Chain A
Amino acid sequence: DSGVTQTPKHLITATGQRVTLRCSPRSGDLSVYWYQQSLDQGLQFLIQYYNGEERAKGNILERFSAQQFPDLHSELNLSSLELGDSALYFCASNPAGFSYNEQFFGPGTRLTVL
């Protein structure tokens, strides 16, 4: 158990819908990373938040957005869903500010878009 929790574990929805994935980082970790794992694209970095502010953006679609709240949990919002958005979405956390620390991964949320 990494200490990172993600809810829900599974999500099934229809095209055009909007969903919210939630991540609670390890206690004390200020940084949250979101990754997408799909058959087509492999594992890709989406976005990072550090202490409530966006730190870095990767291959995140405009239909996707994220935020980190004062209690440090983070949410990834996916809208106008398409079949290709079906994937496993991971959240990872670490204490990192300006030096490297290991990222601890949550169990992931499996999203299926029908």
Chain B
Amino acid sequence: AQTVTQSQPEMSVQEAETVTLSCTYDTSENNYYLFWYKQPPSRQMILVIRQEAYKQQNATENRFSVNFQKAAKSFSLKISDSQLGDTAMYFCAFAYSGAGSYQLTFGKGTKLSVIP
């Protein structure tokens, strides 16, 4: 079974500063996908960034980047130049093809507050 662990239930960061959210996972699979989802107060689930395990290069999307360490099974999210709109729950998630399904396994989430 796959597990995803987010060890930081809550974090805060000053506006314009940089923050890193941690995520570790456990799997015996070799080919899989990792994601960070954002859930603002509206409750909508929004994909922030994704990483394919076979790619060594870390994914980047504007102010969001990841540090993917496959051997350590670590997948952290760095948010640069934090903005008030980044205030949200952030979920790390894992997917692999088990019997042709790519269902997501989520961590418990990190509540991020951006302070003006």
Contacts and interface: CB of A to CB of B under 8 A. Distances in A.
A13 to B, nearest CB: 19
Contacts of B42: 107
Most chain B CB neighbours (cut-off 10 Å) among A33, A42, A44, A92: A42
Contact of B100 (A55, A88, A101, A108): A55
Contacts of B105: 45
Nearest to B109: A42
Interface in B20-52: 33, 42-47, 50
Contact of B101 (A43, A56, A107): A56
A107 B102 contact: no
Interface residues of A, number: 27
Contacts of A44: 106
A78 B99 CA distance: 25
Given A105-B45, A107-B43, A45 B99 contact: no
Given A56-B98, A98-B97, A102-B50, A42 B108 contact: yes
A2 B95 CA distance: 20
Contacts of A11: none
A86 to B, nearest CB: 14
Interface of A: 2, 33, 35, 42-45, 48, 50, 55-56, 58, 88, 90, 92, 94, 96-98, 100-103, 105, 107-108, 110
